[in-house]
Structure formats: structure tokens, C-alpha cells
Structure 1
Amino acid sequence: MLNNDTIASSAKVAIVTGGSRGLGRNTVISLARRGVDVIFTYKSGRAEAEEVAACVRAEGRNAVAIQLDVADSATFESFADKVRQALQIFRKERFDFLVNNAGTSSGMSFLNAVEEEFDALFMVHVKGPFFLTQKLLPLINDGGRIVNISSGLTRVVMNNRAAYGTMKAAVETMTRYMAFELGSRKIAVNVVAPGAIATDFSGGVVRDNPEVNKAVSNMTALGRAGLPDDIGPMIASLLSEDNRWVNAQRIEVSGGMSI
């Protein structure tokens, strides 16, 4: 979904992985509403990606959607080349913000964990963002910002989330090391940990199952399950100059789950 039309813009540019659905979609649109142009990825839903790009344009900003499977690190070099092409469209050489959002769900407990599925989760949630960020570092501006996405499940233990929670705990540690090593370039790196959100994630269980939604609401201080609009604007705000001195932090956005 690249084209050859160049777009003159003084706006900041963000890359959001997994930007065609759920929290990624909301983040892309929230950034556009703050005047940020966006390069976002989708795995297979081209029609969904085109719809998100149209939403960005409706906000008066520019968007480029690029196909990417974050589990396939062998494609990261070619993805970086496509990012360079997209930046040329924006008449830019570098981008400013990276949101490592793409992810998959898992219902594995410790006792029923299957090694093949565990490895697949690792590729998406840990190895993918680790090496994708490394590959994109030459293209991110000094003074830029990175946000990784974790989960409230690193703090609150629930049934059938052992593998998923373990991966997200690794993301949180990875974030601190990124912040430490990228500090010399004045790149701030933080991790956002959403609580249970009513999206199509995990088969839409929080959104579509009234019993699950009620259970989440009952354990949340603010009395309801989270919505995408609770997360995307927060991430966009974290990337703004208002939060330039926030670095190496885990920020839970859960409405106060299990406090």
C-alpha cells in the first residue's frame, strides 16, 4: 500500500505495528488526531488497513500501511526498506515514534503449555519487537520515543494466562534495557500495560461475553471493562512533549484492576 505521491509535512511520524485492529487501530487514529502522520503495519487484513488509513486521512493526516508479520524476523530488512520508501513519501529521512503493539493472544496455562505455541508467542511478543526495534534504530530520530505494549497480566495472575503473562514480563524487562542503552540518543522507552479491554482480542471474550465483562467490571475500581478509547489516547499522550521526561516506566492503564 505504498504509492509514489510525495506529501510535504512538518508533522511527526510514528510507526505502529498491528495498527489495523483493536488497540493498534485506536492508537493510529489517536496519533492522527494529535497531528502525527503514521506508518502502520497489518499482518493479513488489507481491507481493515485501508479503512484505518482512510480514518487517518479524515483527521487531516497521512498514513501508509505496510504488511508485516512480526514473528518473521527474516523480513525485517525488507520492511525497513519499505519504511524508507514511506518516509520519502512524507519527505522525511527518519521517523519519531515507534509503538510495538502487534501481538497474539494465548490461553495456555503452565500445566497445559505446548512448546510449539510457546515458541510462537515468543517470536511475536519478545523476539519480534526486540529485533524489529534494533533494525529500525538507524531510522528513528535522536530524541524519539518508543512504547512497548505489555499487559496487566504481569501483575494480576489469572487462569490460563501463564505463557502470555510470561512473554509480557519479558517485554517489561526489555523496555528498561532499551531505555538504558538508548539514553545516549535521548530516546525515551516506556511500556504500557492495558488491563482487560473490550476488543476482538482473545476472540472478543471481554467485549462479547457478558459474564466475562461483568467479572472484569467487578474487579475494576472504576467499575467497567476497558475500551480502546481508554488506551489509544493515552499512548498518543505518552509520546507527546508533555511526557518527555517519562522514561523506563511501566504504566498500567486498567481502571484500577485488582488493587
Structure 2
Amino acid sequence: MTHHRHHRPLDGKIALVTGGSRGIGRAIAERLGRDGAVVAVAYARDAAAADDVVARIREDGGRAVALHAPLGHHGDAAGLWSAFDERITQHAPGTEARPAVDIIVNNAGIAMPAALPALTEEDFDKVFAVNVRAPFFVVREGLKRLRDGGRIINISSGAGRLAMPEAIAYGATKGALDNFTLNLAKELGPRGITANAVAPGIVDTDVNAEWLRGNPAAEADAASRAALGRVGQPDDVADIVAFLASHDARWVTGKVIDATGGARL
């Protein structure tokens, strides 16, 4: 039983976080769990990592479940929601015929560090399939379950607004995601559902570890790009997502929130 003094901002809410086993997605899942949401941690490959996130959320007194749901192929979004329906009822039994969701975080994404001359059509299709098509259809399938007053939060990138020719297709996927966010906000506003994007800069995650960690020159360069003078941490992004997921952000919609620490101001 929750006493009022322990009320958490997301008590009674159900959240789905894609790419929730590592990096920014993991930080988001753990934070939403601490804030009281039941969290479905969707992951593509690493079952052990996803189970670890679920264990951490439970240790903190939260509720969570891992969903194995790779994204990037036709039918994947429907598969993800089938897994959600099946697993979430065990952890958040409700009266609904179909399990409901309150917060959808489209965080799953892949990098594509290729300039135009090196970019192949296969690379292009792959990065758009995961970074754009998957969020489109995760939301399309999720709308049947998304409660009025819900939240859609898309994890974009500073590359959506800053020229980075060395990752030209990746940047294009984030521009598309930002536009999708705008249209969702307009379309779903009458239901009290907000749609926003969060655009991180360089964050110290596994994805960036190879070139960033233990490389003082790279770290100094990355830190120098932010007005705040350091490399971003996953929690820096997760805390913004937590705000957008909460009641406090009810009057913010259709926005891309810059989470780069002030890159290239």
C-alpha cells in the first residue's frame, strides 16, 4: 500500500521503453521504475542485460518485465505489442480486455557512421527501418492501447538539427523522427496525449565506448562541444524523459527538447 507521503509521480502508469537494456534506454527504464511506473523493458539481443535492468528496478521497489522484441523488420511492432499484452497482464492486472499503456518511449536506434560516398542502399534501409519505421509502427499498433492523457517520447539526436555529414543517413532518420513527433502531437492532442522528442548529444554509453572511453583526447573534444563542458551521461537524458512522462509536462507537446548540454550554441 502506498502512503501519500510516498506517492510517486508515475504510480498507476504503465510504460514501454524500447532499447531498454543498455545505455540511455536503461537509464530511462530505471528512472521511470523509480517514479512508480510498471516498466516493459523491450530489447533486441541481450537478454542478460535486460534481465539485469528488470532486477535493478525491482530492487528499487519497482515493477518491470523484459520483452524480447527486435525491431527493423515488417511485423516487428505487432510482435512487440503481442509480447507486451502477454507479459504485462502478469505484472499489472487490470480490468481492460486489452492491456493498456500510458507512456511509450521510442529509444531503440542504431548508429550509421557513414558519409554519403560510403553509404550503401542496404545501410540506408537498415538505419531507416530501426530508427524511423519501427517508431511509426510501434506507435500505430500502440494507439489501440494508449490511454487518454498518455505520453509518447521519441529519443532523437542533436544530429537531427546539426549538420554531421559523417553520419548523413543517421541524421536524416532523426529529422524524420522529429517531424513524426510534431504530427503525433497534433493528431493526438484532442485525447490529451502529448508527443515530444528528446535530442541528446554525445553520451557516455556502450555505443560510444569504443572511441570515447579511455581516450582523453576524444573525451576532451566531446566535452568541449557542450556549453556545460562535459560529456553527457545517460541520467542527464533520463531525467528529462521523466519530466516529459510526468503530469508536470502536461502542457508541453510537439517539441524537440535539446539535451546536448548546449552543443554548438
Q: TM-score range by the shorter chain?
A: over 0.9
What is the CA distance between 1:211 and its match in structure 2?
1.9
What root-mean-square deviation, in Å, do the aligned CA atoms of Structure 1 and Structure 2 show? 1.5
Alignment counterpart, residue 124 of structure 2, candidates 118, 128, 138: 118
- CA gap of 1:27–1:226, structure 2 versus 1, over 3 A, is same
Do 1:70 and 1:124's aligned partners in 2 also have CA atoms closer than 8 Å? yes
Do 2:116 and 2:165's aligned partners in 1 also have CA atoms closer than 8 Å? no
Code of the aligned partner of 1:91: P
What is the CA distance between 1:203 and its match in structure 2?
5.0
Code of the aligned partner of 1:253: A
Q: Secondary structure at the match of 2:176?
A: helix
Q: 1:45-194 residue pairs with structure 2 within 5 A? A: 45-89=46-90, 90-92=92-94, 93-194=99-200
Alpha-carbon separation, structure 2, partners of 1:159 and 1:200 = 23
Do 1:31 and 1:233's aligned partners in 2 also have CA atoms closer than 8 Å? no
Do 1:197 and 1:206's aligned partners in 2 also have CA atoms closer than 8 Å? no
Alpha-carbon separation, structure 2, partners of 1:151 and 1:181 = 23
Code of the aligned partner of 2:87: A
| CA offsets 1:34-65 (integer angstroms, 9 cap, x no match) | 11110011111000011000000011111111
What is the CA distance between 1:70 and its match in structure 2?
1.4
What is the CA distance between 1:139 and its match in structure 2?
0.9
The equivalent residue for 1:5 is: none
Alpha-carbon separation, structure 1, partners of 2:232 and 2:201 = 7
| CA offsets 1:118-158 (integer angstroms, 9 cap, x no match) | 10001001111101110111111111000001101122223
Do 1:70 and 1:129's aligned partners in 2 also have CA atoms closer than 8 Å? no
Code of the aligned partner of 2:57: V
Alpha-carbon separation, structure 1, partners of 2:214 and 2:193 = 39
Do 1:198 and 1:204's aligned partners in 2 also have CA atoms closer than 8 Å? no
Alpha-carbon separation, structure 2, partners of 1:184 and 1:87 = 27
Alpha-carbon separation, structure 2, partners of 1:10 and 1:240 = 10
The equivalent residue for 1:249 is: 255
| CA offsets 1:227-248 (integer angstroms, 9 cap, x no match) | 1111112111111001111100
Code of the aligned partner of 2:200: P
What is the CA distance between 1:32 and its match in structure 2?
1.1
Q: Secondary structure at the match of 1:63?
A: strand
Q: Secondary structure at the match of 2:253?
A: coil
- CA gap of 1:152–1:10, structure 2 versus 1, over 3 A, is closer
The equivalent residue for 1:23 is: 24
Do 2:197 and 2:255's aligned partners in 1 also have CA atoms closer than 8 Å? yes
Do 1:87 and 1:95's aligned partners in 2 also have CA atoms closer than 8 Å? no
Alpha-carbon separation, structure 1, partners of 2:199 and 2:217 = 23
Alpha-carbon separation, structure 2, partners of 1:54 and 1:211 = 36
Code of the aligned partner of 1:17: T
Alpha-carbon separation, structure 1, partners of 2:112 and 2:200 = 16
| CA offsets 1:55-83 (integer angstroms, 9 cap, x no match) | 00011111111111110231332322221
Code of the aligned partner of 2:44: K
Do 2:11 and 2:37's aligned partners in 1 also have CA atoms closer than 8 Å? no
**Which 5+ residue runs of structure 1 have no aligned equivalent?**
1-8
The equivalent residue for 1:234 is: 240
- Counterpart check, 1:217 vs 2:223: yes
What is the CA distance between 1:87 and its match in structure 2?
3.0
Q: Secondary structure at the match of 2:116?
A: coil
